[in-house]
Amino acid sequence: MNRIDKVRLAVLVEDTKMPIRYGLVAKHGLSFFTELKAGGHTTNLLMDTGPSADIVLQNSHRLGIDLRKVDYIVLSHGHYDHTGGLLGVLKFIDKKVPVILHPEALKPKFVVKKKRLKKVGLPFPISELEGSKGILSLNRRTSSIMPGVWVSGEIKRVSPFERVKGFKTKKGDKLVDDNMLDDQALFLKVGKKGLCVITGCAHAGLINTIRQAQRITGSREVYAVVGGFHLANAGRERIRETIEELRNTGVRAIKPCHCTGKKAIAELIKAFGERCKQLRTGDVVEF
Ligand SMILES: [Zn+2]
Ligand SMILES: [Zn+2]
């Protein structure tokens, strides 16, 4: 069967400061530890590593999660708040582990803030990975890591209202717009529930990401959408259209966090009621 039995996702790092449980640290960034259960076997996949390893290591320890059991690391994109912990995490894991990312995640990345250029890419040279046991798997295409689990690869931009804004990269010496082609998500087909979409920041657009998940998995209906939806700077209209399209997917569980933004989360709760619940550091969800 092309599906897993169950998934348990623990939020190792997320932004929201309050309320935070004792001993856990919240910080701008994201890291999800996912246990993918199929046929009595568990595969552990770490999606993103937060802004620094100390936080991921401390929080996972507090949550009783042993990161040495990680079988795969997937990086949703190259921004520091998702990749900064990679080196330290690999050092801790201390065994060969594939690190799946889009090649453009390694490009220099910037945002313009108050007319100033701020570096937001991978905070260490990729050559530093050579001393670790991480095996880089640079991939633009969709890949399946086991039956029922896909890493999206580059996400097709089809939705007319989702545009990437505010990011820059370098082409030679020239500063150019960064369309965030490296942005990718995780697609799971889970038991009787169906399609679960797990995003990092959804820079490619939440609806574009869902469309890709539907195409790849062959499931029209979506059961759950979890992660950063990158609507923090989105206008009213984009939030409205996103909610409209989400509703059309029949989604049962919406778990926004990180860069979704307070305004969009409030609108999602208004539209979906109990079906929508914000995720914070230390939260665990099971599908
Ligand atoms: Zn980002
Ligand atoms: Zn982010």
**Residue 156 DSSP code:** P
- Span 47-80, pLDDT tens digits: 999 999 999 999 999 999 999 999 999 999 999 9
Query: Which residues, chain by chain, have CB under 5 Å from ion ligand 2?
Result: 81, 201, 259
- Please compute, for residue 246, the number of CA atoms within 13 A of its CA located in the half-sphere on the CB side: 29
Supply the pLDDT for residue 8: 98
Q: 203 CA distance to ligand 1 centroid (A)?
A: 7
Helices within the chain (DSSP H only): 53-62, 80-83, 86-93, 206-217, 236-248, 262-272
Q: 80 CA distance to ligand 1 centroid (A)?
A: 8
Q: 100 CA distance to ligand 2 centroid (A)?
A: 17
Q: 2 CA distance to ligand 1 centroid (A)?
A: 30
Supply the pLDDT for residue 89: 98
Residue 21 has pLDDT above 80, yes or no: no
Q: Determine phi and psi for 210, rounding to 5 degrees.
A: -65, -40
Count the neighbouring beta carbons within 10 Å of the beta carbon of residue 41: 10
Supply the pLDDT for residue 130: 82
- Span 253-273, pLDDT tens digits: 999 999 999 999 999 999 999
- When pLDDT is cut at 50, 70 and 90, the band that residue 93 belongs to is very high
Please give the Cα distance from 134 to 137 (Å, whole number): 9
Supply the pLDDT for residue 76: 98
In this prediction, residues 22-48 reach a mean pLDDT of: 96
- Span 182-239, pLDDT tens digits: 999 999 999 999 999 999 999 999 999 999 999 999 999 999 999 999 999 999 999 9
Please give the Cα distance from 180 to 111 (Å, whole number): 12
Instruction: Name the amino acid, one letter, at 33.
Output: F
Ligand closest in space to the Cα of 167: 1
In this prediction, residues 278-282 reach a mean pLDDT of: 97
**Residue 155 DSSP code:** P
Q: 201 CA distance to ligand 2 centroid (A)?
A: 5
- When pLDDT is cut at 50, 70 and 90, the band that residue 18 belongs to is confident
Supply the pLDDT for residue 113: 84
Q: 41 CA distance to ligand 2 centroid (A)?
A: 31
The answer to whether the bond into 108 is cis (omega within 30° of 0) is: no
Supply the pLDDT for residue 283: 96
Ligand closest in space to the Cα of 109: 1
Q: Determine phi and psi for 96, rounding to 5 degrees.
A: -65, 125
Query: Which residues, chain by chain, have CB under 5 Å from ion ligand 1?
Result: 79, 201
Supply the pLDDT for residue 131: 83
Q: 136 CA distance to ligand 1 centroid (A)?
A: 20
